């Protein structure tokens, strides 16, 4: 299996034409219509999917902070995404104190879960608020941060809420909104994006990271990493919930945001590490700026 994964990863980097053949197997117009659905059905007015593993299984919180458990890949991802988010929000020079480089930045971590990303951002000095609809995960986040001596003077604030509820109370509030590995778990994606934008200050930044809806991502994320290697919790992802970059870009633009950058990344299980890639076939990060007007 390890040799097969390494061979696949080499092909992933060296033969980008594979991406074209995969995309051609889909009808892009039908896919965009089905997934973006600009006339969004909002009968439930909620982004929460009650069938999602983080909502349906309260016991999932018990292993969240175990760096060698089923969230091993997520812990490794934190070392990858934190410097990226930091560098996209501020410019740091040699000799700067990284522990205070985000001081004064008000950041919302949407779908914060057990607080892994929220704590990391707080260690950079940011004023972090984490929102999540899972009480067991939020309880875990609060308990963990209360015991972290490095956060004694700057603990994240955790709120049990959906983003659509939160943005009505705190519109135009945050310098940055981070939705990392979250949008693939919500149902009303248009409402989710709209709510994230509403909570952002004019001129503020939004950063999303999420799997791409390709058969390549399905093969690795669900079939290999969940079902075989157990790098992710089994049942955590559903292929039909994945998005493509152009779909998320359109949603952001329809909410008066300018998309600055879209880039791909990949997970290497044999080294438990993540890296940027020239193709977005596996997962992608997308950055946008809310209109200052």
Instruction: Provide the domain limits for residue 257.
Output: 46-91+98-290
Higher per-residue confidence, 204 vs 7: 204
Q: Is the pLDDT of residue 182 over 70?
A: yes
> Mean pLDDT lowest for which of 3-12, 108-117, 221-230?
3-12
Domain assignment of residue 181, yes or no: yes
Burial 75-102 (b: 16+ CB within 10 A, else e): bbbbeebbebbbebbbeeeeeeeeeebb
Nearest of 120, 119, 82, 74 to residue 237 by alpha carbon = 74
Q: Counting runs of H as helices and runs of E as strands, what totals does the chain give?
A: 11, 8
The number of distinct structural domains making up the chain is 1
Q: Say which DSSP state 192 is in.
A: H
Domain assignment of residue 1, yes or no: no
Interval 62-74: pLDDT, tens: 889 999 988 999 9
Domain assignment of residue 140, yes or no: yes
Please check whether residue 144 is in contact with residue 235, taking contact to mean a CB–CB distance below 8 angstroms: no
Domain assignment of residue 51, yes or no: yes
| Residue 273, domain CATH | 3.40.50.150
Alpha-carbon distance of 49 to 185, in angstroms, equals 7
CA 123 to chain centre: 19
Give the torsion through C-alpha atoms of 27, 29, 32, 34, to 10 deg: -80
Domain assignment of residue 20, yes or no: no
Please check whether residue 199 is in contact with residue 163, taking contact to mean a CB–CB distance below 8 angstroms: yes
Please check whether residue 111 is in contact with residue 193, taking contact to mean a CB–CB distance below 8 angstroms: no
Alpha-carbon distance of 107 to 127, in angstroms, equals 6
Please check whether residue 256 is in contact with residue 291, taking contact to mean a CB–CB distance below 8 angstroms: yes
Domain assignment of residue 16, yes or no: no
Interval 256-272: pLDDT, tens: 999 999 999 999 999 99
Q: Is the pLDDT of residue 291 over 90?
A: yes
Domain assignment of residue 77, yes or no: yes
pTM of the model: 0.84
Q: Please give the pLDDT value at position 25.
A: 39
Domain assignment of residue 130, yes or no: yes
Interval 129-171: pLDDT, tens: 999 999 999 999 999 999 999 999 999 999 999 999 999 999 9
Please check whether residue 113 is in contact with residue 141, taking contact to mean a CB–CB distance below 8 angstroms: yes
Q: How many CB atoms lie within 10 A of CB 135?
A: 11
pLDDT range class, residue 33, cuts 50, 70, 90: very low
User: DSSP string covering 238-264, please?
Assistant: -GGG-B-HHHHHHHHHTTTEEEEEEEE
């Amino acid at each position: 299996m390890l040799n097969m994964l390494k061979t696949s990863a080499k092909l992933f980097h060296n033969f980008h034409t594979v991406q074209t053949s995969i995309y051609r197997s889909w009808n892009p117009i039908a896919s965009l219509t089905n997934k973006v659905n600009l006339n969004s059905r909002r009968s439930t007015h909620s982004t929460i999917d009650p069938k999602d593993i983080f909502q349906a299984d309260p016991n999932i919180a018990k292993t969240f902070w175990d760096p060698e458990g089923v969230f091993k890949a997520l812990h490794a991802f934190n070392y990858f995404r934190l410097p990226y988010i930091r560098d996209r929000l501020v410019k740091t020079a040699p000799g700067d104190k990284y522990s205070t480089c985000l001081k004064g930045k008000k950041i919302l971590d949407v779908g914060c879960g057990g607080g892994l990303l929220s704590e990391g951002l707080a260690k950079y000095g940011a004023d972090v608020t984490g929102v999540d609809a899972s009480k067991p995960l939020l309880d875990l986040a609060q308990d963990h941060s209360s015991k972290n001596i490095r956060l004694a003077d700057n603990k994240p604030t955790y709120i049990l809420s959906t983003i659509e509820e939160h943005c009505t109370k705190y519109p135009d509030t945050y310098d940055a909104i981070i939705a990392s590995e979250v949008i693939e778990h919500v149902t009303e994606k248009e409402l989710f994006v709209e709510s994230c934008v509403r909570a952002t200050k004019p001129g503020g930044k939004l950063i999303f990271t999420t799997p791409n809806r390709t058969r390549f991502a399905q093969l690795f994320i669900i079939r290999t990493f969940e079902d075989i290697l157990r790098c992710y919790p089994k049942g955590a992802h559903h292929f039909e919930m994945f998005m493509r970059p152009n779909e998320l870009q359109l949603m952001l633009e329809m909410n008066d945001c300018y998309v600055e950058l879209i880039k791909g990344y990949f997970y290497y299980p044999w080294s438990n590490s993540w890296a940027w890639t020239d193709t977005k076939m596996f997962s992608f990060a997308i950055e946008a700026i809310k209109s200052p007007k």
